[in-house]
Amino acid sequence: MATTTAPSGVLLEKLPPASGKAGMPGVIRSEWTKIRSVRSTYWTLIVLVVVGIGLGALICYATENRFTHLGHGAGLGFDATARSLTAFSELGQLVMMVLGAMAITAEYTTGMIRTSLTTMPRRGTVYAAKGLVFGVMAFVVSIVTAFIAFFLGQSILHSTGASATLSDPNVLRAIIGTALYVTVIGLMSFAFGAIIRHTAGTIATMVGVLFILPLIVEVLPSDWTNDVNKWLPGSAGGQLMATVAGSSDSTLFSAWGQFGVTVGYTVILLIIGAFLFRKRDA
Amino acid sequence: MIEVRGLTKRYGDKVAVNDLSFSIEPGTVTGFLGPNGAGKTTTMRCILGLDYPTAGTVTIGGKRYADLAYPMREVGALLDPKAVHGGRSAYNHLLCLAQTNGLPKKRVDAALELVGLSEVARKRSKGFSLGMSQRLGIAGTLLGDPQVLMFDEPVNGLDPEGILWIRNLMKALAAEGRTVFVSSHLMSEMENTADHLIVVGRGKLIADCTMKEFIARSSGSAVRVKTTAPDELVLAIAAEGGNATAGTDGTLTVQDMAAEKVGDIAFEKGIRLHELTTVRASLEEAFMELTADSVEYRAEVPAVARIEG
């Protein structure tokens, strides 16, 4: 790399002229390059896939092993689908929280945002492309992981006679819904990232919202707890996974209704994030 | 052409740029000079739309930066070579930039080749030295074959080899007819490269002129004379309206008089001269003089210990 003197004369060939305007398609390609070219993306997704599937299988194995001792008897009230998806749902939230935050905060902590916005100053386009690329990637990985976790879990639980199949009521909703839920949690983290612009601060905020807030609500008087819980963004996870009456929470909204609450918060946060991304100095 | 009109930028109470106006003409190397904290970087950030001006406008070829159809084809800017994601390889870094403007992949290889980073193209930029980061940043500015290039303190912290490389590159870019807008607080650096100067201090415009005018404007030009009869010459010069002072090394320094005139006086009086030199103020001195009141953080240093840059 020791070219001391830059060549004189023509430095680079002339480019063919371009028509139109640089816009969304190029920025989407660019954001995809960004997300697939850093190791942290792979590490976090590998953790999600391996632990989401592995831990799910382990939980199902433990359940299968002690099934008769667990008092499920003939399987009444036992939710085999939820059992196989729990590990993925809990861990998926954590992983998507980190990935969603990093998709935007890494640009600020490294200073890359200034380079990014110099090459593409239309900030709304950059923000939308970033969110879109992250969201699509998160959903694809989630849906694949959720299906594998489900099928592996059910094959382990098969001997209990209480395992579920795709055609059972609510099962498909549980699998797709859980994948959608962790994706939306990732997008919520992305939005907080755009607002806070700092990785640790964003993740701390998300942990507060998803894991600390429910604990605080828990110590409220019980009639309050039920009313407040419905409006927490993290209440949808359990509702979406539940496929039998005994495992869903009757004090909450229905699965999709509860999911709507999470989506609602996320949309509001994404709009605030977009506004700040455009208005603030980079 | 870049046009800055009445640019003002405030960060809270602090005014970084104060009603700054200037134009950068195409096809020149324009130096952007000022002490640290003078508002050079802020001005560049406003030109690129990274910061929003509190007041005033900046246009490139009549358009706001954000409205340029293909920004990378019109302006290549490098403000901070470390403003990259260190976990990404040099190649992928440039690729994600190129893609935003629909530039072909082979352009990335060509740019890496040009700056001499082909061998480390697949290495993560985290491990790059400042000089290598600088080259990577410059490769990014050249991807779109832009007519205008902007560099903020490009030689800062570089070793002599790196400085020479940047200097040659800027000359080569200018030779191709491109506009180069380069900031520095190193006056000596500008003396070698810039045609035109925009000088700022405390966010305000101090000078906007050619390099020659800038040096001429400073009052520091003097004539140094060495003679066998200093006392006689001092009187003769004083009689003609000049002002000569004797130095410690036996030379005289004459103010307010051209060297020709000093020579003529000596000839008429029959005084023998051993040296007759016009001492022009260097850019460094001219700059110090012009910005004397506008240095933000001044340290009291004796004149002899004045440190360049």
Q: A148-196: per-residue pLDDT in tens?
A: 999 999 999 998 888 999 999 999 999 999 999 999 999 999 999 999 9
Over range A216-234, report the average pLDDT: 91
Contacts of B140 in chain A (CB under 8 A): 115, 119
B201 forms beta bridges with: B204
Q: Higher confidence at residue B167 or residue A173? A: A173
Given a cut of 60, is residue B308 above it in pLDDT? Answer: no
Phi, psi of A143 (to 5 degrees): -65, -40
Do the chains contact at B69 and A20, CB–CB below 8 Å?
Answer: yes
Residue A84, phi-psi category: left (phi > 0), alpha (psi -120 to 50), beta (remainder): alpha
B22 forms beta bridges with: B4
Do the chains contact at B85 and A110, CB–CB below 8 Å?
Answer: yes
Phi, psi of B196 (to 5 degrees): -125, 150
For B111, the closest chain A residue by CA position comes to A12
Structure confidence at residue B174 as a pLDDT band (50, 70, 90) = confident
Q: Which helix (H) or strand (E) holds B171?
A: helix B160-175
Contacts of A24 in chain B (CB under 8 A): none
Given a cut of 50, is residue B82 above it in pLDDT? Answer: yes
ipTM of model: 0.90
Do the chains contact at A18 and B69, CB–CB below 8 Å?
Answer: yes
Do the chains contact at B100 and A4, CB–CB below 8 Å?
Answer: no
Chain A interface test: which of B85, B89, B134, B178 (most A C-beta within 10 Å): B85
Do the chains contact at B66 and A122, CB–CB below 8 Å?
Answer: yes
Output the six-digit token pair for A77.
């009230």
Q: Within 10 A of A57 (CB to CB), how many other CB atoms are there?
A: 18
Chain B interface test: which of A10, A11, A44, A99 (most B C-beta within 10 Å): A11
B155 and B184 Cβ atoms separated by less than 8 Å: yes
Q: Higher confidence at residue B93 or residue B304? A: B93
Give the whole-angstrom CA distance, residue B180 versus residue B78.
12
Residue labelled with tokens 């210990």: B305
Contacts of B144 in chain A (CB under 8 A): 15
Q: Higher confidence at residue A72 or residue A65? A: A65
A174 and A241 Cβ atoms separated by less than 8 Å: yes
| pTM listed for this prediction | 0.86
C-alpha pair distances (Å), B4 with each of B20, B21, B204, B302: 7, 5, 12, 37
Least confident span in A240-254, B40-54, B195-209, B218-232: B218-232
Chain A interface test: which of B41, B97, B100 (most A C-beta within 10 Å): B100
Q: Within 10 A of B301 (CB to CB), how many other CB atoms are there?
A: 9
Do the chains contact at A1 and B85, CB–CB below 8 Å?
Answer: no
Do the chains contact at B97 and A106, CB–CB below 8 Å?
Answer: no
Q: Write down the pLDDT at residue A161.
A: 86
Q: Which of B112, B76, B75, B74 is nearest to B93 (CA)?
A: B112
Q: Which of B49, B73, B48, B69 is nearest to B150 (CA)?
A: B48
| Out of A13, A34, A111, closest to residue B80 by CB | A111
**Cα four-point dihedral sign B233, B236, B239, B240:** negative
Q: Write down the pLDDT at residue A112.
A: 96
Do the chains contact at A33 and B92, CB–CB below 8 Å?
Answer: yes
Over range B157-166, report the average pLDDT: 88
The mean pLDDT value of chain B amounts to: 87
Given a cut of 70, is residue B307 above it in pLDDT? Answer: no
The number of C-beta contacts closer than 8 angstroms across A and B is: 157
A107 and B83 Cβ atoms separated by less than 8 Å: no
Do the chains contact at B80 and A39, CB–CB below 8 Å?
Answer: no
Given a cut of 50, is residue B8 above it in pLDDT? Answer: yes
| Out of B99, B119, B176, closest to residue A11 by CB | B176
Q: Write down the pLDDT at residue B302.
A: 47
Output the six-digit token pair for B273.
């001269």
Residue B13, phi-psi category: left (phi > 0), alpha (psi -120 to 50), beta (remainder): alpha
Q: Higher confidence at residue B307 or residue A246? A: A246
Give the whole-angstrom CA distance, residue B183 versus residue B34.
8
| Out of A11, A37, A110, closest to residue B92 by CB | A37
Give the gap in angstroms from C-alpha B42 to the nearest C-alpha of chain A.
11
Share of chain B above pLDDT 70, in %: 89
| Out of B52, B73, B100, closest to residue A120 by CB | B100
C-alpha pair distances (Å), B69 with each of A123, A171, B64, B259: 14, 49, 10, 56
Contacts of A6 in chain B (CB under 8 A): 114, 165, 168-169, 172
Single-letter residue type at B59: T
| Secondary structure tally for chain B: helices H, strands E | 11, 13
Give the gap in angstroms from C-alpha B67 to the nearest C-alpha of chain A.
8
- pLDDT tens for B14-72 read 999 999 999 998 888 999 998 888 899 999 999 999 999 999 999 999 999 999 999 99
Do the chains contact at A117 and B50, CB–CB below 8 Å?
Answer: yes
Q: Write down the pLDDT at residue A67.
A: 81
Residue B177, phi-psi category: left (phi > 0), alpha (psi -120 to 50), beta (remainder): left
Contacts of A15 in chain B (CB under 8 A): 73, 103, 107, 144-145
Question: What DSSP assignment string belongs to B232-275?
Answer: HHHHHHHHTT-EEEE-TTSEEEEESS-HHHHHHHHHHHT--EEE
Q: Write down the pLDDT at residue A2.
A: 43
Over range B185-196, report the average pLDDT: 79
Q: Write down the pLDDT at residue A167.
A: 93
3-state secondary structure chain A: CCCCCCCCCCCCCCCCCCCCCCCHHHHHHHHHHHHHCCHHHHHHHHHHHHHHHHHHHHHHHHHHHCHHHHCCCCCCCCCHHHHHHHHHHHHHHHHHHHHHHHHHHHHHHHCHHHHHHHHCCCHHHHHHHHHHHHHHHHHHHHHHHHHHHHHHHHHHHHHHCCCCCCCCCCHHHHHHHHHHHHHHHHHHHHHHHHHHCCHHHHHHHHHHHHHHHHHHHHCCCHHHHHHHHCCCHHHHHHHHHCCCHHHCCCCCCCHHHHHHHHHHHHHHHHHHHHHHHHHCCC
Q: Write down the pLDDT at residue B250.
A: 76
Do the chains contact at A6 and B84, CB–CB below 8 Å?
Answer: no
Least confident span in A176-190, B171-185, B211-225, B291-305: B291-305
Spell out the residues 6+ positions from residue A155 whose beta carbon is closer than 8 angstroms to its own. Answer: A163
Output the six-digit token pair for A40.
């942290």
Over range B78-92, report the average pLDDT: 95
Q: Higher confidence at residue A72 or residue A118? A: A118
Sheet holding B273-279, edge to edge: B243-246, B251-255, B222-227, B273-279
Do the chains contact at A20 and B142, CB–CB below 8 Å?
Answer: no
For A106, the closest chain B residue by CA position comes to B85
